[in-house]
Structure 1
Amino acid sequence: MVDYYPPWGFYYRVEFGISKNKNDVRFQSVSGLSVEYDVEEYKEGGENRFTHKLPGRTKYADLVLKRGMLTDSEVTNWCLAAFRDRDFRPADISVILMNEKGEPLRTWNVAHAIPKKWLVTDLNANDNAVVIETLELIYQYFTIK
């Protein structure tokens, strides 16, 4: 008998601290929840077999969120205010992975996110496709609960 099954990656929600709109939690995909160190190499005199590799600063990837375009969204208005008016208001974001009962399994709390890029897919009369908007955000760090 198997005691553990890994969680499914399709049942999640994205909560923005700036929005109470129930549609603003629905995203088609989330990527960029990754962290790594810069590595500094130190060459020790007299030691020619290897160089010391020391951890440096922590780097976080950009958070990329994709969804069907909303015509009434507080999150989209937040992004457009940053690009149009240069009004950068950092927002805290929670990416919540849920189990089959809708209970949180893991939460990534993203701190001080601001918009870096906002993109809408091409409009094409020959395609029968939903318009997808992509939000690319930079942030300081994330914590995991």
Structure 2
Amino acid sequence: MNKTIAQKQFYLNVHFFENEKRESNAQFKSVSGLTVHIDVENLVKNPEKEFKHFFPSRTRFPNLILKGVLLKDLKVIEWCKKAIDQYQFSPTDLKVKLVNGKKESVLAWNIIRAYPVKWTVKKQIEKENSLAIDTMELAYNYFKLV
């Protein structure tokens, strides 16, 4: 019975630096911000008749919010520190995967040109040279569902 329950559980893997030779990954408790908004512009054809035409204009993507992880990869930690502490941004591609209990990818999103804009660190674990991250917020250009 426990095996059946374990197979139904899902988790989120985030693969950092997808466009580089050495990628890093981390398992987060939650991911939000995988949303697209299409702005609409209106054109008033004849102001006296109050008739408007609505047209789609541009797409907007809110920040990606990653919550709950123990980051052990120094490359990801340094990437965040450079952006937040030194204002040095290195946009990179990410892949967010929803994985089932059988370790099969159910859904995946390619996040294009992401960079950190905010993070909340719970604590640093000296022995493991890692950080417990409560929240990591990333701005990005757009995403594609894979």
Shift of 1:46: 6.3
Distance 1:68 1:97, change over 3 A: closer
- Is the CA contact (8 Å cut-off) linking 2:12 and 2:29 kept in structure 1? no
Higher helix share: 2
- TM-superposed deviation, 1:69: 4.5
Structure 1 residues 32, 9: CA separation in 2 closer, same or farther (over 3 Å shift)?
farther
Pick closer, same or farther for the CA change 1:72–1:111 going to 2, 3 Å.
closer
TM-score (norm 1): 0.75
Instruction: Report the Cα distance in structure 2 between the residues aligned to 1:37 and 1:133, rounded to whole angstroms.
Output: 30
Q: Which has the higher strand share?
A: 2
Amino acid at match of 2:11: Y
- Unmatched 5+ residue regions in structure 2? 1-7, 124-131
2:15 aligns with: 15
How many aligned residue pairs are there?
128
Q: What is the CA deviation profile of residues 111-134 of structure 1, one whole-angstrom value per residue up to 9, with x for unaligned ones?
A: 000111112359xxxxxxxx6421
Deviation string 1:60-105 (CA, Å, 9 cap, x unpaired) is 0100001244465422221111122222111111011123421222
Per the alignment, residue 53 of structure 1 pairs with: 54
Show structure 1 runs of 5+ residues with no match: 1-7, 123-130
Equivalent position of 1:108 in the other structure? 109
**Contact 2:10 2:100 (8 Å CA) reproduced:** no
Counterpart Cα distance in 1 of 2:58 and 2:39:
5
